[in-house]
Every structure is written in C-alpha cells, then in structure tokens.
Amino acid sequence: MNSSPSALIQTLESPCEDRQIEVSIESGSRGEEVVLRYSTWTDGLGWCGQKTIRLDGEHLDDLHRALTVARHRINRHRAEAGQTLETAKVIQLPTLA
C-alpha cells in the first residue's frame, strides 16, 4: 500500500457509470508525481483499481499535447461521419447587486 501524501485533483466520470479515472498528485522519494488511476465498479466490492500510471512533471506538457491532438482527431472523424458534437454549456454566474 502506498503511504505517500496524496492530493486528489479530479475524478473523471465515464459515460459508462462503472468506470472512472482519478487524477492526483503524490509526493514520494522521487519527488512529486501525477498519478492516473483507472477503476471499475464491481457490485459487492465497490471501486476496484485496474491500472495506475505515474508520471513525473516533465511528461505533463507532452501528454497534454498528445491528448489534445487525439481529441481533435476524434472530433474531426465524428464530424466527417455526420455525428453532432456536444456544444459548450454556458452557465449563468450570479450578478453583484
């Protein structure tokens, strides 16, 4: 079991309710790492970790670029196939009186 200090950044819910990805930062002997945990829901057990990927900070910019390229390619292929893309949601912020 890993006992290094950890800070959960975000849990990414999947369109399938039985999957999620947790993004956290952990401090260990090698310094701070970003940790991606892929989990699936199992009835009777709850969330079960399937895969864990540890990245040092130097990989984050390259990973961000690669994910952005992948997202653009998937969106382009969907658009070419005639699928509609989800539009951005605009939320109303409270106004100051």
The arrangement of strands across the sheet holding 6-13 comes to 6-13, 19-28, 31-42, 46-56
Residue 85 within a domain = no
CATH no. for residue 23?
3.10.450.700
Residue 95 within a domain = no
Task: Please tell me the total count of domains within the chain.
Answer: 1
The predicted pLDDT at position 93 comes to: 79
Mean pLDDT check: name the lowest of 12-16, 35-39, 60-64, 73-77.
12-16
Q: What is the pLDDT of residues 27-57, one digit of tens each?
A: 977 889 999 999 999 999 999 999 999 998 8
Residue 89 within a domain = no
Range of the domain at 49: 6-80
Residue 96 within a domain = no
Residue 61 within a domain = yes
Residue 93 within a domain = no
Query: Rounded CA gap, 57 and 53, in Å?
Result: 13
